[in-house]
Structure 1
């Protein structure tokens, strides 16, 4: 039998809204969506009133408008999102937390609160998050004014943005926006596998067609539409270029109104509250790790943080990858799935690596996407009680990884781990030196970003002897030649020579031979 202090998930809920702007009163807000998912999760426990009384911690996953500089709240904001949600749910809090930013956060919070519940630092916890980006875009497009302000306030642990995932060198020279940063991993992976651009486009699109099929059947999918590989691999008005090699439907779609929530407690508290053990799902193994800055990593085609976190979580669960029946690998871009699957030895043509349909098709609900994966995993494991499921949550630029291995099968002995072997593995990697200087370099990876079908900027990562240089196109006619060379389908850009001009801080690629 599990210990009374063993942490468990006892309730889950998720929602999706399609708001067309016709009824202003029906417009979803972030706090409204979070509260709706939290109420569903409370109801899912089968003892909502008793659990509501027991909840002493509520954590809201940081919304996108608060994950970047500037005032990004056209319709007002909450004084404290956790307290606004708690008030709507009728919950009195001892501790309110507003999480840091990152797609890894939902799984990292489950990992964190599993230990805190075991150690008696909380009785019952609600983890909830949402995005109403689609509603924001619909309202602004139609000149509709909404009121999302909320004065509910109280002591809140605001964890801020979290650690910087890029430094000044990277930002000054072109990295930052995910669809411009992830292509560098994608092309490096393509190069290591010896694929042509056409072959890799087909591989990405076949992978994504499987995800789209899953999303079509998920009741909370924002888009819920199947696409075949031919459509996904073909440029069109509906599938236009974003950044080489990505077309629109290769990238996470953030225009969603989605929310998801999880209720956690301990075995002893669940028994006291009268929660049916059929609701209980256990965390069998967990791990997390943070990688180096993008340009410091020794191999852009792999993620040591992913590989290490996956290995450690499975080791703690005493499982091999083949023993896991259900996977949800974070899917902001194809390379994130491919790199994780490769680390697991998972053949994605034989094993489906998503249970939701992923961020491009189910919906990229900001930092909270993986909460939907966890909710869906809990529902699946309740129906398949002897099986195991794994959720990999990714933040930043393959930067922050959190893994959870779940099952309805009990955990006999919970362990709080004081060490972090996954992080130790990451820290054992050699760091790649970086330079800002003029000269010639060999192209290691690249991308061209597009706006309305026209190239607007190219960014290359290249090697100068034992160091890396990162450079983007200047704002003059020389950029046209770089665009043409990188986009030339008859000549592979990887391995070609780039001419770099540098002022010591900002680097420009002015020619590709």
Structure 2
């Protein structure tokens, strides 16, 4: 029999959202309000007793010590304070960490929280107002800075592969080629998936864009839904300009029962597993899959001796369609099980590193409403950092089965070379469009005649080369991956000849 003092459970979840309207409140204040809104228990006594507080990275405003500042706001004196670095994987990893500490007797009450106020920062900036002049924290305050190393390796930077909107399409476009899917079928698949997400978001009271959309609306490029990087229009990109925050209270089963938490409000944290891929995407053996994602999901289910057929709540990180696509293809889930319980990053909202705190909160509500088992997956970096976790309405027979420390994924990395003039075979490509809805710049990963991987970008302004690498180079979207093209190396960029 498991010791109830070592069984981690979630007893409270709270969320706040501007629901499409900037709240003009700084992120830590949003988090404090999320904590005040916790359902299931009277939050204040629990949070005041917290011996562990973890905060996801905040990108919209700078804080020197967010967890410590939050503890002060709560009137708590935790011995464990954790300020997570940037990364969307951290909500599930932090929950797994909190659960592990409870399971090993290192903690009694833990708080995991996150929030963003990018909508307010953007609105204030556009109107000429400085949040610091309106009482926002000045420790140090202002937008956070970051190191160039966070953008990618030197080779990635040289090739222009430095932002998620350019990189995630590389995986989507390679997958399309590997499964012999036409560009039209790919767009239909992604559109239908995100339409399903929008219907979930419509029923979520904390959604930023809480209106259901049709697949046709999502998948049709227009002035308001321009293609950002092929194949994704704006509607398939995460929406970071939100004001949203969420908070979780985690404790032991014994503690919950001792303090009278109703059994129906207790949600068991079975545990999870994480995996980290190489940070240089050009060292990965394939762009058609994510070994780290597969490892995280497989190890989570294996540790719990649970099959995917036992999961009736699934939330997969959805900054771009490729992530839930790869996850559901690998898991083999039923088509009827929509892989989002929030509504996804484009409809619910994408508060950067803290999105999956909302996923956990929504999963808890679903279990309290009668569901049995939830699998929540979170992703960070460029499909780099993965962590999944299982929640349920009953205790696992083995107690806590998680492993908060990630494993490293290894690859048989391909030989690499600099781009030189000559023939290459397109391995994958992303093409950025202008606001005039035309191909503007291309970012190519290819193999030279010796099988070596090369990565390069076309020059800004060389719209003809971008068009030649575009799905839209003809009147009907046409596959470019897998074709052989001729390039010229010109002053650090490539020019594509007619083919």
Match of 2:480 among 461, 486, 493: 493
Q: Work out whether 1:310 is the aligned partner of 2:297.
A: yes
Q: In structure 2, how many angstroms separate the alpha carbons of the residues matched to 1:419 and 1:178?
A: 25
Contact preservation (8 Å) 1:38, 1:89: no
Match status 1:270 vs 2:256:
yes
TM-score, normalization by structure 2: 0.90
Cα distance between partner residues in 1 of 2:295 and 2:151: 19
What is the rounded CA distance, in whole Å, between the counterparts of 1:256 and 1:205 in structure 2? 22
Aligned length: 485
Corresponding residue number in structure 1 for 2:143 = none
Deviations 1:2-61 (A, max 9, x none): 42211111111111015757xxxx5121011111112223xx342434313320221111
Contact kept? 1:131, 1:256, Cα under 8 Å: yes
* Mapped pair 1:17 → 2:4: no
Name the residue aligned to 2:120: 135
Partner of 1:431: 413
- Equivalent residue for 2:32, pick from 35, 45, 48: 35
**Aligned residue among 174, 181, 187 for 2:173:** 187
Give the Cα–Cα distance (whole angstroms) in 2 for the partners of residues 98 and 325 of structure 1.
32
Range 29-38 or range 114-123, more displaced: 114-123
Gaps of 5+ in 2: 141-145
Alignment map for 1:137-176 (pairs within 5 Å): 137-147=122-132, 149-150=136-137, 164=150, 166-176=152-162
Give the corresponding residue for 1:294: 281
Distance 1:346 1:119, change over 3 A: same
- What's 1:68 paired with? none
Q: 1:480 aligns with which of 438, 454, 464?
A: 464
Paired with 1:167 and 1:95, the residues of 2 have a C-alpha distance of 33
Could you list the runs of 5+ residues in structure 1 that have no partner in the other structure? 66-72, 154-159
Work out whether 1:48 is the aligned partner of 2:33: no
- For 1:140-289, what aligned pairs fall within 5 Å after superposition? 140-147=125-132, 149-150=136-137, 164=150, 166-289=152-275
TM-score, structure 1 as length reference: 0.88
- SS of 2:78 mapped into structure 1: coil
Q: Matched residues in 1 for 2:263 and 2:111: separation?
A: 19
- Answering whether residue 356 of structure 2 is matched by residue 370 of structure 1, we say yes
**2:315 matched residue in structure 1:** 328
Task: Tell me what 1:157 maps to.
Answer: none
Shift in Å at residue 131 of structure 1? 0.7
Structure 1 residues 372, 485: CA separation in 2 closer, same or farther (over 3 Å shift)?
closer
Q: Relative to 1, partners in 2 of residues 1:285 and 1:78: Cα closer, same or farther, differing over 3 Å?
A: closer
Question: How far, CA to CA, are the matches of 1:372 and 1:451 in structure 2?
Answer: 33
User: Against the structure 1 CA distance between its residues 441 and 252, is the aligned structure 2 distance closer, same or farther, given a 3 Å change threshold?
Assistant: same
Q: 1:161 to 1:99 in 2, by over 3 A?
A: farther
Please give the alpha-carbon distance, in whole angstroms, between the structure 2 residues aligned to 1:495 and 1:253: 32
